[in-house]
A and B are shown apart, each in its own frame.
Chain A
Amino acid sequence: MSKKNENGKSAAESGNGANGDRRIKMSGRKVNVFYGSKQALFDVDLDIRENNVTALIGPSGCGKSTFLRCLNRMNDTIDVCKVTGEIKLDETDIYNSDVDVVELRARVGMVFQKPNPFPKSIFENIAYGPRIHGMARNKAELDETVVNSLKRAGLYEEVKDRLDEPGTGLSGGQQQRLCIARAIAVSPEVILMDEPCSALDPIATAKVEELIDELRENYTIVIVTHSMQQAARVSQRTAFFHLGILVEEGDTDQIFTNPKDERTQDYITGRFG
């Protein structure tokens, strides 16, 4: 976890703390999102820093998932959804017309709220991404990728004897780690997770949280969560959304111990939301 910020420091100052000086991997500027005529996000400016876990928190319907889905253009699949503003991955604007969405999603992977393994074998679930992107030149390489991904997702020991069995036959927690392994298998740079633990029991949740903490070393992670404790446990940076507005963002410790905004204060102390 990050170094604790001293009280009284402003958000801008805390931005220069231990996590604040990491390289900016993705950045949103003046992001507005409309579903038809309804605006879901208003002028959101948010930086995602490399090898950090950034938590998006806020009451239901405030636009966390919407922002997350902007980061790999999953919103493109919704007909009525329109995004304006600028979202950069490294130096390129991902909403530029010459950006290939398919490639983008291989670089910015996603794990969903409900585990959604394909109705295929465990092996095939993981091999799916590398296959469509032609990442393995032969069977041996593919095997290696699958095993490595499972190992990184902390699932290998549990399933190594039954890679041919359907992925849908695993427990909920195992399924979610399978989905994480599936996302890792295409070697993304950023992994987006939308409430990845909301369908899991506390023990499975603990495992996934542990996993997220380990993954931070190699990947940049953005996670949406409803659990304050979870945000505090796994993230270094936290962004608080309210009614489509990014109210406050900063180092997790600062947000939880010394929020600048009254609304953040109310939310994290459970006064609304």
Chain B
Amino acid sequence: MFSTLLAVLVIAAIVGYFAARNRAYAVAGDKLHGMHSLPSFHGANMAIWVAIPAFLVMCVWAVVSPRVIDGMVLSQYSDAVAGLSTLEVNSFLRDARAIAFGGIASFPNPEREAAAETISALAFANNVIMAAVIVTIAVCGGLFAWGRITYRARARHHVEGALKILLMVCSAVAIMTTIGIVMSLIFESIRFFGKVPFQEFLFGLHWSPQTALRADQVGSSGAFGAIPLFVGTLLITVIAISVAAPVGLLAAIYLSDYAGPKFRAVAKPVLEILAGVPTVVYGFFAALTVAPFFRNTGESMGLTVSSESALAAGVVMGIMIIPFVSSLSDDVINAVPQSLRDGSAGLGATKSETIRKVILPAALPGIVSALLLAVSRAIGETMIVVMAAGLAANLTINPLEAVTTVTVQIVTLLVGDQEFDSAKTLAAFALGLVLFCVTLCLNFVALRVVQKYREQYD
């Protein structure tokens, strides 16, 4: 029904466009030049008036009407649902709808079948009324726009206005989604902190989120001290940055100040390819190649290296963010004006002296912020650590042992069948919130630094 109506609206809008345009040509006669708006604007205006209001009403209708129907069914069968829990009421409605629209009901019974008939009747009536209302609105819109096709009518401005609103709505969608996600993070986290005290989560040293599903289960008290996760994340991030910062930075210096144009032309795209490798590929590279390599090397040196080690995950993550660091640093280093390089060379400085004493100090804020952005990438990275770092929430700073990170734990908390409002599931939201706050701060600081730094040379 919805899609049929939508098709009708689209066709009506197209027809309306051409009709209104022809009408506008007729109105203009042979004085098209003096007309305020070109006929195509009148056409577009018509299409907007035919389609948009009707479409909006249709959307609202589609959202609201099922609820209204549900409400009507429930009030009609209030005896049947009296004393049922929310879950059971939902199951009742779901089955009734399934029977009505030809799905599979889980617990069919006479009451539910009767409700199903009511639902089909209501749904039919609903469709008829909706179609009537929508068509009426479209026709009214069309007539209204038709009446406004005159020689001096400002259809051009009306179309402009409609476009502006469209753009505004799109950006609002993006912003609202972000706000919505953050809000849900916050609210679920608050629920979590209702079950687990705030300070226990932030400062607790023990993480073992298995809560008992049944009271008689063993070994599942549930401990939500997130410090081991924070330490694990920090450890892996530090390893990643100590790989990525020197390599990325030196590569950037080479590319921007030493490499010839031919090498640059090859090296830049290659770095970009490195940035384009899916993280899951890095993940199995870490788990299948790097981790065993470290373990074997470690063993031959008499060290015990667990097969899932922070070192392997950190190193591979470092490799992953090298292109990130180098391309951002390359940008800031290139932003240091050529005149400073010339000035230094003119005083008899060599290239490396110029870089060390003039370019790097000048570019330092930008480089720092590039590193901060890379850190926030590393903290949020999941796939590599899931595959290579392990699940054991060890509180350790030994890079040869297995550690776990915030992101890994979020994944494991939510994978598999879960009760939605258990402390275990809600913990994922709290971890997500922490992650969000940290990366937000890092990005914010980094972007501010970059901005200030940009201004310096403009």
Contact = CB atoms under 8 A, between A and B. Distances in A.
Interface of A: 72, 74, 77, 79, 102-106, 109-112, 114, 116-120, 128-129, 132-133, 168, 179, 182-183, 186
A132 B347 CA distance: 9
Interface stretch (B72-80, B204-212, B350-358): B350-358
> Ordered nearest first, which 6 A-B pairs have the shortest CB separation?
A106-B348, A110-B346, A116-B339, A105-B348, A129-B347, A116-B343
Given A118-B340, A129-B349, 20 more contacts: A72-B346, A74-B342, A74-B346, A77-B342, A77-B345, A79-B261, A105-B345, A105-B346, A105-B347, A106-B347, A106-B348, A109-B347, A112-B346, A116-B339, A118-B343, A128-B349, A129-B347, A132-B349, A183-B346, A183-B347
Contacts of B357: 128, 132
Contacts of B346: 72, 74, 105, 109-112, 183
Contacts of B361: 119-120
Contacts of A74: 342, 345-346
B339 to A, nearest CB: 4
B343 A186 contact: no
Contact of B347 (A114, A119, A120, A186): A186
A102 B349 contact: yes
A117 B361 CA distance: 13
Nearest to A168: B456
B347 A79 contact: no
A106 B337 CA distance: 22
B260 interface: yes
| Of listed B261, B345, B348, B350, residue having the most chain A CB within 10 A | B348
17 contacts: A105-B345, A105-B348, A106-B347, A109-B346, A109-B348, A110-B342, A110-B346, A116-B337, A116-B340, A116-B343, A119-B362, A120-B361, A132-B347, A133-B348, A182-B347, A183-B346, A183-B347
Given A119-B362, A119-B456, A114 B339 contact: yes
A112 B261 contact: no
Interface in B343-378: 343-350, 353, 357-358, 361-362
A122 B198 CA distance: 52
B306 to A, nearest CB: 48
| Of listed B340, B347, B353, residue having the most chain A CB within 10 A | B347
Nearest to B347: A129
B255 to A, nearest CB: 15
Contacts of B358: 118, 128
